[in-house]
Structure 1
Amino acid sequence: MITVSIVSHGQSTLVEQLLADLVRLDMSMVTEVLVTLNIPEDISSKPGDYPYPVRILRNTAARGFGANHNAAFRQAEGEWFCVMNPDIRLINNPFPILIEEGAYDSAGVIAPMVVTPSGMIEDSVRCFPVLTSLAAKLFGHGDGRYLFAAGDEAFAADWVAGMFMLFRTEDFRAVGGFDEGFFLYYEDVDICARLWKSGRSVLACPKASVIHDARRSSRRNLRYMKWHALSLIRYFWKHWGRLPQTPEQ
């Protein structure tokens, strides 16, 4: 039922840990895993090492987040398409509850609660950014996150972060996948906005959880800061004054 897409940027060790999680949890719902190596690197495991099909896709040149997952999607065969970062770890199987909640709500994309290795809930479910919310965040007055607790009922949210997004395949295709004009940031915000505009919903499900063992070094890298700024500009250019109406928090 599910195609999992993972993109590695020299993160083969993390990828192999994630693949091992999928084996350990006996995820029969996963029909295939597509691993894109965005830069040249070796991966020690072989596709035959796993009980589910694993395909290794090697790029000849580095591509952005959206371009990589769109390319994987063109080869996907599952009814659901799961975008998953290599630094995600799985303690429990999140897919049964996500599929159940997503099917009930007819959601175009659904995401689990994301926690840090220490158990803190990350800010992976947020309201759409607007100038006032960005200014508030700059001055330490909130970052637009939704407040919820583990085990809460699933709820409609403006957008969910790209480290783990489970799309209904037909809806991902209908909106044209990720906008490849975004290289690294705001692809997730943009596709959620477009799903809402297409009549589908975005769902957060705190009953399911994954661990995000995040690497934050990019926050101090000027190149990443430039990409972030350019993506922010593109996002506002596309959606300024045209954000969809979504349910109240």
Structure 2
Amino acid sequence: MKEDIIITGSIVLFKENLTDLHKAIECFLAIPLKKKLYLIDNTPLRFFEYVFVNQQIEYIAVEQNIGFGAGHNFIIDKIKQTSKFHLILNPDVSFNLGVISNLIKELENNKDVAMIAPKVLFPKGKHQYSCRRYPSVSELIARRFTLLKPMFRAVIFKGEYRERDLEIPFFAEYITGCFQLYRTEDFIALNGFDERYFLYMEDVDICKKIDLLEKKKLYFPQEEIIHVLKQGSSKSLELFLRHTSSAFKYFHKWGF
């Protein structure tokens, strides 16, 4: 029997800034709807076990770093009979009170939409270009190497839909995974994220899977969120290698 919960959310935790994380959790708990938040702790030592205690939060200790997608998938069986909508939320995202309610209204008005996401801004207000075309190999390479960006500017701008008026809602090819609001039944039908991606590209992959469902992804810039965006693969060799591995897996699966 389904519980009387409108929206569930999940945040996967590993090495998080506690100030950013507190803000993300407070934003979710302020949603004026029946809700439940799952905190999936990928730290081996259950670091976050007693950091956040609330009756609307369920803490889940994985006790190993299983990655982003697998972490979010960990609660699929829990939300099957729980909520109408499910939010994939990064630990460094914040949003205003009415954002979720207004996005839910748009989902309810568009039955062919499986996932909706708002405009994403950096903390100082700069646009993050979170709605994108499916990536090409040249675009991914250019994004990883600063010196190549001027040479591939046209490719990058095309990938970011910069020729469009991004203040108008439209159906994007893919929307980055820092904030994705799904109909729960569609997230279940997708079987969540492909767990072959430890980190990176799983958000692109799930958008491809939405296409296979013959459903859409709606970019809705009338609502805005703030995303700190760590850009770890530009700063860490380990994360760069993980990003590269994920890109190989993506193109092997979906083609070039």
Q: Distance in 2 between matches of 1:11 and 1:133?
A: 29
Alignment of 1:140 onto 2:143: no
State how 1:59-70 maps to structure 2 within 5 Å. Answer: 59-70=62-73
What stretches of structure 2 of length at least 5 have no aligned partner?
A: 1-5
Amino acid at match of 2:250: Y
Partner of 2:83: 78
CA drift of 1:74 comes to 2.2
Q: Distance in 2 between matches of 1:224 and 1:133?
A: 18
- Of stretches 75-84 and 94-103 in structure 1, the one that deviates more from structure 2 is 94-103
- TM-score, normalised to structure 2, is 0.84
Q: Distance in 1 between matches of 2:117 and 2:246?
A: 22
CA drift of 1:38 comes to 1.0
Alignment of 1:110 onto 2:116: yes
Alignment of 1:179 onto 2:194: yes
What stretches of structure 1 of length at least 5 have no aligned partner?
A: 242-249
- TM-score, normalised to structure 1, is 0.86
- Of stretches 215-224 and 202-211 in structure 1, the one that deviates more from structure 2 is 215-224
Cα 1:30/1:94, change in 2 over 3 Å = farther
Alignment match of 2:177 (pick from 142, 155, 162): 162
Q: Is the 8 A contact 1:2 1:32 kept in 2?
A: yes
CA drift of 1:97 comes to 1.9
Q: Is the 8 A contact 1:97 1:207 kept in 2?
A: no
Q: Give the secondary-structure state (helix, strand or coil) at the position aligned to 2:37.
A: strand
Deviations 1:105-159 (A, max 9, x none): 2211111110001111102110001235446754332421123667x33210000
Q: Is the 8 A contact 2:114 2:210 kept in 1?
A: yes
Q: Distance in 2 between matches of 1:16 and 1:133?
A: 34
Alignment of 1:31 onto 2:31: no
Q: Distance in 2 between matches of 1:153 and 1:240?
A: 30
Cα 1:140/1:83, change in 2 over 3 Å = same
Amino acid at match of 2:52: S
Cα 1:11/1:167, change in 2 over 3 Å = same
RMSD (Å), alpha carbons: 2.0
Q: Give the secondary-structure state (helix, strand or coil) at the position aligned to 2:75.
A: helix
Deviations 1:208-232 (A, max 9, x none): 1100012234422111111111110
